[in-house]
Structure formats: C-alpha cells, structure tokens
Structure 1
Amino acid sequence: MGFCQLLKKASLAGAFFVPGIWLSAAQAQVFCPAPASVAPVHVQRVVDGDTVRLKDGRSVRMIGINAPETGKKGRSGEPFAVAARQRLQALVNASDGHLGLVPGREGNDRYGRTLAHLYGADGNNLEAQLLAEGLGFQVGVAPNVELVACQQAAENSARNARLGLWRQSPVQSVTQLKRSGFALVSGRVSKVERNRGGVWIELPGSLVLRIAPDRVRLFDAAMLNGLQGKTIEARGWVQDRSRRGGLKKPQARWLLPLTDPSMLGSTP
C-alpha cells in the first residue's frame, strides 16, 4: 500500500487514535501537517527518539527535535530516553512502518545521516507529535528551520502542560554545566561584543554564546543590542573548550554556537 493510500485510510479511521494509546485533547492538536508532496519511505527500525533506519539503508535524523540520549558505552540513558524511543516506535507502527519524508535544505549531517522531516500515514509530523508530548526538545539549526514556528508551538504546549521532560524544569544555570552536549541554559547577560568572529554574548559562570559572522544577519540587531543585563534562555550543543588543550585567559570554558534566532529567547 502506498503512502497516499495509507494517508487516506488513516483519515477515515480517525487521525488521533494510536493503537494502545488515546491522546488527550492537547496532544491531539495537529502541528506541522504534511505538505502536498512527500517521499514514501519504509522504516526498518527505530534507533532512538529522533533517529530511524530505513529499509533502503539510510539513517534519518529527524529535523527540529533533540530527544534524550539513550544509554551508551556504560553510560546510563537520560530521563525519558526510553519513553521517546517507544513513542516513536508506536507512531511508526501506527503507519505500518510507511512514512512520508521531506528532506532538509541541508540534506546530511556530519555523520552521514539524512536530515529530514517525517510524517505518519495520518499526515501528522512525527517530530511535532513527540515535542507536543514532552519527549524531546525543539531546536532549529540553520538552514533546516522551515518548521521552527510550528515545532516551537508543539513544544510550548507540552511545556505549559508540564508533560514529559517539562514535568521538572530541564533548564540549567551556567554553573550546572558539567559536560559537552545538548543543553538548555538560562542566565543574565553580562556583556555583548562584536568583532570579526561574530557576536559574542557572555553569561557569568564561564559561558559564551557565539553567532558566526554569516549568521548575524538572521538575528534582530535591536534585540542583540538590548541583551546586556537581561535574563535569557539559550539552547543548543555546548562545547567544552578546556578539552582543546587549555583555555586562554579570559576565555569562557563553555561555548554555545547559535545558528538561528530560535535558539535564543527571553526567560519564560
């Protein structure tokens, strides 16, 4: 059965029923519906809460969501990692493994995985469904930011309802940073500096946010100029610069690159 046929079948059966799971009214809200044209793909297996392996051999990293990391190399998994993987598996199963794929403007990541949005047979975006249930964090990494607005809305619905990851606030202060990796960080801006390296936003506790020169034009200049002294929330992949052979004074230990305005906001 083709993807379009599955889509029609799902609409007749009822868009908001997943075998074994009844979604609440808030979770049933549709975010990021499928565009007119999607490529049909068949999932071989679900790797984790944001990655699937296709029967054609490709690994697909879903755009716009960062799910909790599963346990690897003796390290325990992050909270809700298993729940995110199981929920994605249920969504895939509800479509008999047949999904719709829309590739990102940047088609592959540094690991060779295909970067794409995935849609179930009911036409719903899988990333947005997971975000709306609090099973991942929204993150917009340029240039793959077409669905940022609706994915933010999906995450906000979970955040407001304190679902999943939002049951207890996952937002960290700078002093709570312990290792590289994805993080939501909040703090008061102590300094904003512009130079040939871009825009540098400093937070007390040894964290600096960097906007590269080719990305500065995407950010509102007035907003950046008014950041000093304000409390902000930033998200993305934190880098530990002390692992590069030592820091030069007065460099901050932690660096968080910002590639899209959605990675930076005021504290809710």
Structure 2
Amino acid sequence: MLMKKALLVSAFFVGAIWQVPALASCPALPGALRVEVQRVIDGDTVRLKDGRSVRLIGVNAPELGRKGRAAEPFAEAARRRLQSLVMENDGQVGLVTGRERRDRYGRTLAHLYGREGVNLEARLLAEGLAYQVVIAPNDNLFECQQLAERQARQLGLGLWRRPSVLKADQIRKPGFALLTGRVNNIRRNRGGLWIELQGAVVLHVAADRLERFDSAWISRLKGRQVEARGWVVGRSGRGPLRKRGSRWLLSLDHPGMLQVAR
C-alpha cells in the first residue's frame, strides 16, 4: 500500500514536469511475458515480485547517492519517472529478455513494455533521464533508442539541459562517461583496435568485436573529433602504451557507442 502511494505521488510529480511532445518510440518485440514489479530500485533497474532483479537494456541512468556519495544529477528524477511508468500499468509490465539473458551481477537483462506496447527505456531516453548504451548482442532496439535520446538532446531535456560531456583530458575517475576528444592515432594488433585520443584516454575494440565495426570508417577518424561513451577504467598495464599520458581505457563493444562529434 505504501509502495502504491509513493508511486502515485511520483506519477503526479514527475508527470507534471516531464511532458514531452511527440515522444520517440520503439516497436514492441514479440514474446513479452507479463510480470509484476515489486520495487523500482533506480532509473534502470527494477525488482520483480518473483525475486528477479531486472536491468533495462539500452539505458544507463544516473547513479543514486550511496555509501556517503552524492546522487548524480537527475538520478532521483529518473527513478521517480520509472516508478510512475510502472504505476501507470498497475505494477504489471511486459518483459522481453535479451539475447544475452544475464549480466555479470546475475541480473536479468530485458526490455520492459507498458500495456499499450510502449517501451519504457525509450520513454526514459526521450525525456532525457538516461543515456543510451549499446552492448551486443542486446541491440535489437539500438536505432530507435538512439533516436529517442537524440530527440531529448535536441530539445535540451533532463540530462541534456547541461550536458556533462567531458573532454578526454578531464577524466579523473573510473565509471560511466560521455567524452569527446580528437583522434591522435589508430593502431591495430592482436589485441584489437586502439584509438588514442588527445588527452589521457584510449578507446579499445577487442579483436573479437572488430567485425561489428566498419574498418573503413574507423580509418578515417584520425584527426577528427569523436564522441564516445562507456565505462572508463584505469589503463595501467593494459595494452600497448603509445604514450605515458594515456591513463584511461574505454572499451567499445558496439559501433553505437562511438560517433563523430557534431
């Protein structure tokens, strides 16, 4: 009962704020199973009544504050919006699992849908409450989710009011990042493809992922400004260090995580 009251308040509060005309949408995938949501954990994760934790495919919402760390901007708004979307469907949503069914934490990877076939991830993206991420093989909705995020970005909604796009030399800690930098060098070896950015970041495509990328397009990136997204880790001891300044590594799993900067 308390959960329902909280969701009703959230639905009213967030619905009043996040009114967006002509929302981008994604098609309903076949094979959806009706499931009941017990709790919305954050803007991209829910707990089902059957005990499963579900990580939404294609989105990365801002992190809530935990262990003394402050919440990232729009983290609470994303959680409340997902709560309201769930409540609009009386806590029951359609679930379509990805080709890869679980992540390394044991969470079910899935798309969620409302009664009318509305994809919940696309709604979050179109309202600027999450970043798009693409991790193969779960890329069925890549293109429509990309359009949803682009709409929010063009309208300056949510996260895109003041986009936190970092320059490559501004990276100071590991974690998810949306960054931009000029390509200084591109090299390939048995470990895959290495794209060195001006600054302290190198982008890496593992050898077993290269077939997903257009090699001719990649070869034309040298000297151009690119935008990449993903999870940055410390690069110490990983791969051929072309220069001492390349302290950070961002692995690219899918072409949708890299584009020429606009």
Q: What TM-score do the two structures reach when normalised by structure 2?
A: 0.90
Overall identity of the aligned pairs, in %:
56
Partner of 1:5: none
User: How far 1:249 moved relative to its partner?
Assistant: 7.3
Partner of 1:181: 175
Report the CA distance shift for 1:25/1:90 in structure 2 as closer, same or farther (over 3 A): closer
Work out which of the residue numbers 236, 243, 246 in structure 2 matches 1:250: 243
Partner of 1:121: 115
Partner of 2:157: 163
CA distance in 2, matches of 1:122, 1:133: 18
Structure 2 unmatched ranges of 5 or more? 1-10
CA distance in 2, matches of 1:157, 1:73: 34
Partner of 2:215: 221
1:80-119 correspondence to structure 2 within 5 Å: 80-119=74-113
CA distance in 1, matches of 2:46, 2:64: 14
User: How far 1:248 moved relative to its partner?
Assistant: 6.5
* Deviation sequence 1:124-146 (CA, Å, 0-9, x none): 00000000000000010111111
User: How far 1:250 moved relative to its partner?
Assistant: 3.4
| Code of the aligned partner of 1:160 | Q
Partner of 1:11: none
Count residues in correspondence: 248
Q: Pairwise CA RMSD of aligned residues? A: 1.8
In 1, are the aligned partners of 2:100 and 2:138 still within 8 Å (CA)? Answer: yes
Report the CA distance shift for 1:34/1:248 in structure 2 as closer, same or farther (over 3 A): closer
Partner of 1:3: none
Q: What TM-score do the two structures reach when normalised by structure 1?
A: 0.88
Partner of 1:172: 166
User: How far 1:25 moved relative to its partner?
Assistant: 5.1
Structure 1 unmatched ranges of 5 or more? 1-17
Partner of 2:143: 149
Partner of 2:231: 237
User: How far 1:122 moved relative to its partner?
Assistant: 2.3
CA distance in 2, matches of 1:146, 1:238: 25
CA distance in 2, matches of 1:36, 1:57: 23
